[in-house]
Structures are given as C-alpha cells and as structure tokens.
Structure 1
Amino acid sequence: MMADDGGCGRCCFSFVLTSGLSALFLWLSLRTYKPSLFIQDLYVPGLNSRNNHTIFFQLTLRNQMKDKGVGYANISLSFLYNSTLLVANHTLPAFYQGHAKTAHRKDSVNAAALPWPPSNGTVSFRVRAATRVRSKIMLWFTKSHALVVAADVEVGASGEKVKKKSIKLKSGVADPGSRWLRMGVANAMLFAVFIF
C-alpha cells in the first residue's frame, strides 16, 4: 500500500512537472517583443538656409523576432523644435514587416517657420513616433499594442544630424511582454500552491 502511494506521488509530480515545462515552452514560443525604431538620418536645410523649412528624415524599424512578423498601423511622427515647440506632423502608412527584417522609411515634411538659431549654433529636435503593432504568429495576429517612442536628435549648423550613428527612439510605456512574464510566473506559483 505504501509503495502504491509513492508511485502515485511520483506520477502526480511527473505530471505537474511536465505540464509546467510544457506551459513554459508554449509561453516562450508565443512571447512577443516590440520592434525597435531608430532615426538614421535627419536633415534640416533651414538651419543653413532660412528659406527652406523642410525636414528630411530616415526612420529605421527593426523586427528582432526570428519567427514572428509585425503589422504596423499608421505611424504618426511629430517633430518638436528644441524638444518643446511642435513644428511638424507626418504620417507613414501602415505596413507588414517579416521575420527578423529591417525596414527603412525615407520621407520629408514641411515645418512651420521658426526663429532658426545663428548658423554656428546647434538645436535639438525631439522626434516622437506613435503607432499600434501586432505580432503575426503563423497565420494569425495577436492583439494590437500601443508603441509610443521618442528621442532627442541634435542637429548642427549645417542642418545635419550631429551623431553619425542611428539614434534609438525609446519608450516610457511598459512592454506587454514583461507584463505577460509577471502574470505567467504568478500563475505558475498559484498552480503549484494549489496542487501541493
């Protein structure tokens, strides 16, 4: 009788362990990450010529997930002079990005007339991007999540971006992946307490 109890306990433990590991691997395979956005280039001729109020830019979008695609809604871009004064808005159309792909969007937008600084000065432009993203897992899309990111880009007297390297737009919005991780760990602990 005691031997049977030990066998039953081992069977239950094996079942719980197998179920937990299966749930963990399933969760890891379905976990998604938000894409990364970068300002590759920013050129403001008006800093060198007061008659031109166009902002030229190149936005780079990277999907780092090797087994999932990303669907972007329209991407709203805002350009703020010295990080405070809104001078231009622009919208990039929605698109789909494949597994582990990088997309580049070159475009331009007309900015409001500004009191440009002297030709030997530098200014900062805050570039803000807002959209909603959905991950594509096999044949279906996940629920969409907001993606709001921004960065300050320093522009020199020539009108060109001072830093040669791309500048990552960062978010203050919590990543949904971290929320799912916390929920997954909490549920696993509750399940273990309930079983034992």
Structure 2
Amino acid sequence: MSEGGGGGGCGRCCCSFIFTSGFTALFMWLSLRTSKPTCSIQDFYIPALNRSDNSTATRNNHTIRFDLKLDNGMKDKGVHYANISLTFFYNSTVPIANFTVPEFYQGHNKNTHRRALVDASGLPWAEARDAVANGSTLSFKVRLATRVKYKIMVWYTKRHSLVVGGDVVVNDSGQKVNRKGIKLKSGAPDPATQWMRVMPFLIFTFLIILFL
C-alpha cells in the first residue's frame, strides 16, 4: 500500500513539474516577445506643386515638408532607434532627397512625431509641375531604414533591422491625396514575428505530448 501511495505521489510531482515548466515557459515568452514599431507618414506637402499659389517664393521652394510618426504599441517595453535614414523617391524609382533622424529612445506605449523640411534637389521640377498642371497626380516613395533594440525592464535586446517603405500620391495642391496616415510596410515577412506566432502552439503541443 505504501509503495502504491509513493508512486502516486511521484506521479503528481511529475505532473506538477511539467505544468509549472510549461506555464513558466509561456510566461517567459509573453514577457520577452517584442513587436516592431509602426511607422507612418502623417503629412506630406510640396509647396512648389501647389497650383493655387503662384508666388515666386513658393515656386522656388524646392523642399518637401513631412511628418513621420513612430508608434511603439508595446505597453511594457521601450524602443531605442539608431539613426533613422529616410530616402525620398520620385515615381517610386528616382532618388530625390535624403534625411536623417538622430537616434533616440521611445518609452512604453508612446508615439513620436518627427517633422522636418528636406531639400528635394533631385526632383525634376519642370516635369513635375507640368504633370500636376494637366490634372495628373504624382507618386512619391518614402523608404525608412534603421536598427532598433528593445528595452525589457533594465536591459536591452540585440539590435534588429527595420526597413519599411510606402507610396505617397500628391495632387495639384502639393498635398498627399490620402488624408489618413500612410503606413510604411516591409516588403518581406518578418521571420521573428512568424516565430513568435508559432511559439504558443509549440509550447502547448509539447505539453500534450508529455501527457500521452
């Protein structure tokens, strides 16, 4: 009788250990998983393409005004951005301007705006003005490249590459057509994100196999 009771106790200990290990692993995964910040263009204005303003100062203003929004949606992790490189393209292929946002830290569940003017000396201005004068819209592309590391409690993860882009359509007012912010997206799936999605399934599958 005593031997049987000891075996049952051992079995209960094993079950308890397995459950504890599984839930600990799940808790650690939930605590350590990260998500990349969301990047979007909230404002995009090219004064020289505004047909309603024919002043000499405006016509000779060869700049692009933009508002870049960076959104950290994580409630318990901060994000440190290395220098952010922005490249602007005309017709999505011709590079016309570059701009660098200095590195900075962004706190939990925060959003940050970086507004600036960039000199678009590479834009074929005569061609662009003729296009909007005929009622056409122009397509520009914004490409963002940086490296980010995440702050979990008091330590940082290793750096991760963040490269995203998006198309901005401008009309004859010089403003982007879409009133909403334009989200910059990656052209390739993020392997880390895919792995994070699969991890809970793997943990529970492992627990079920142990009990079979």
Q: Distance in 1 between matches of 2:187 and 2:204?
A: 28
Letter in 2 for 1:118: V
Q: Is the 8 A contact 1:147 1:173 kept in 2?
A: no
Between Structure 1 and Structure 2, the one with more helix by share is 2
Q: Is the 8 A contact 1:71 1:96 kept in 2?
A: yes
Q: Distance in 2 between matches of 1:179 and 1:128?
A: 26
- Residues 59 and 187 of structure 1, relative CA distance in 2, 3 Å threshold: same
The correspondence of residues 71-150 of structure 1 with structure 2, limited to 5 A, is 71-111=80-120, 112-114=122-124, 115-116=127-128, 117-119=131-133, 120-150=135-165
Q: Is the 8 A contact 2:72 2:110 kept in 1?
A: yes
CA RMSD of aligned residues (A): 2.1
* 2:169 aligned counterpart, secondary structure: strand
Matched, 1:7 2:9: yes
Deviations 1:81-105 (A, max 9, x none): 1111111111111000011111000
Match of 2:182 in 1: 167
Q: Distance in 2 between matches of 1:118 and 1:16?
A: 67
1:37 to 36, 39, 61: 39
Q: Distance in 2 between matches of 1:75 and 1:180?
A: 25
Structure 2 runs not aligned, ≥5 long: 51-57
Match of 2:64 in 1: 55
Q: Is the 8 A contact 2:139 2:168 kept in 1?
A: yes
**Offset at 1:44?**
1.1
Match of 1:19 in 2: 21
Letter in 2 for 1:121: S
User: Sequence identity, in percent?
Assistant: 54
Q: Is the 8 A contact 2:22 2:207 kept in 1?
A: no
Q: Is the 8 A contact 1:57 1:106 kept in 2?
A: yes
2:166 to 151, 157, 170: 151
Q: Distance in 1 between matches of 2:80 and 2:8?
A: 52
**Offset at 1:45?**
1.7
TM-score using structure 2 length: 0.83
